[in-house]
Structures are given as structure tokens and as C-alpha cells.
């Protein structure tokens, strides 16, 4: 049996500016010191394509969270913030869900949020947020590119992920982007 500590990988970046948002992710899945897959899809469209989401962590756990979150979106008629808070409350208080090892970024045209299993629902002041092993590298790159270039948010996401892939051994440059 493989311990969860041996699972590493994933860099997910979210960028929100105006009424646009992008979430991007790499494709690498690592087990211990081996790359198992280099083209994993860690992004999803939810709620009839009106919400985009990306995950870092255990894949099965993330799919469970995506399903739960989409249910909360339906319950709240697409209110992203309310759905996120409801998911975080359930995730934190449910004995089974509490064991899930994943984090998700979600965005619509109004907001971008990080939802964690510790009950956090975080909305960045600057519209930039990242998760995963290379998240801090991608976030630093996105901040620099946002402040010192005229790149579009999609280009910033792609370039930030490429920079993270050059630094983080658990991140690759097989990049996927979802935009709304």
C-alpha cells in the first residue's frame, strides 16, 4: 500500500480579471519518485459550463469534491460563493469527507475561490491564486507577469505554469487551460 505522503504533483493557477477567469493546470501525476502520467486532465467545467474548476491532491477525492460542489451549485442556483461555503462546511463537518486529501479552485465570471478541507473559502484580493506542489512558483510568476507585462490572463496562466514546470520537479509543461 502506498502512503498519501508519496503522492506529489500538480500545479493549478487561477486568474480573475474583469469578467474573465482562467484556471490552468499541468498534466503530471507522480507516485513517489516516478512520473506515472504526463497528460492528466485536472480541470473541469461545472454547472452547464458556467463554472470552471481545477484540483490538486488525490484524484478520487477531487472527483468527489467536484460532484459535491456541483450539487451545491444547483442548490444555490449557481451562486458560487454560497455553494463554496456550503461545500466547505460539509467537508469540514462530515467524518468521511474530512479525510479527503484535495483542494479545488473554482471560478465564474464574478469570482475566483480556493476551497479547502479545513473549511477555508479564500478569495484573493488581486485575482491570482494557486495550489499544488508548484503553486507558489506559478503564483509568484503570475504576480510578476501581471504587474510587469501586457499579457492577457490566459497567456499569464500558461507562462506561469511553464515557469513553475522549470522549477518544480512535480510539475510538467503539458498545460491545460479552461476559460470563462
Burial 132-147 (b: 16+ CB within 10 A, else e): bbbbebbbbbbeebbe
DSSP structural state of residue 6 = G
- SS3 assignment, position 170: coil
Bridge partner list, 53: 44, 106
Residues labelled catalytic: 10
- SS3 assignment, position 180: coil
C-beta contacts of 35-38 below 8 A and 24+ residues apart: 35/172, 38/172, 38/174
* 177, containing H or E segment: strand 176-179
pLDDT per residue as tens, the chain (180 positions): 333 443 457 899 999 999 999 999 999 988 878 899 999 999 999 999 999 999 998 888 888 888 999 999 999 999 999 999 999 888 877 777 767 778 899 999 999 999 987 778 999 999 999 999 999 999 999 999 999 989 999 999 999 999 999 999 999 999 999 999
| CATH number of the 4-172 domain | 3.60.20.10
The domain limits of the chain are 4-172
Amino acid at each position: 500500500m502506498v502512503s498519501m505522503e508519496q503522492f506529489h504533483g500538480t500545479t493549478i493557477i487561477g486568474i480573475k480579471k474583469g469578467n474573465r477567469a482562467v484556471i490552468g493546470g499541468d498534466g503530471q501525476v507522480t507516485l513517489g519518485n516516478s512520473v506515472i502520467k504526463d497528460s492528466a486532465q485536472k480541470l473541469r467545467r461545472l454547472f452547464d459550463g458556467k463554472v470552471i474548476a481545477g484540483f490538486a491532491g488525490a484524484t478520487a477525492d477531487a472527483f468527489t469534491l467536484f460532484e459535491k460542489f456541483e450539487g451545491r451549485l444547483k442548490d444555490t442556483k449557481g451562486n458560487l460563493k454560497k455553494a463554496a461555503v456550503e461545500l466547505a462546511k460539509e467537508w469540514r463537518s462530515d467524518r468521511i469527507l474530512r479525510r479527503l486529501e484535495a483542494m479545488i479552485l473554482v471560478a465564474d465570471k464574478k469570482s475566483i475561490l480556493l476551497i479547502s478541507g479545513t473549511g477555508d473559502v479564500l478569495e484573493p484580493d488581486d485575482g491570482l491564486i494557486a495550489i499544488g506542489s508548484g503553486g507558489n512558483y506559478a503564483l509568484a510568476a503570475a504576480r510578476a507577469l501581471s504587474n510587469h507585462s501586457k499579457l492577457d490572463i490566459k497567456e499569464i496562466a500558461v507562462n506561469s505554469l511553464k515557469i513553475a514546470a522549470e522549477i518544480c520537479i512535480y510539475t510538467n509543461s503539458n498545460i491545460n487551460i479552461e476559460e470563462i
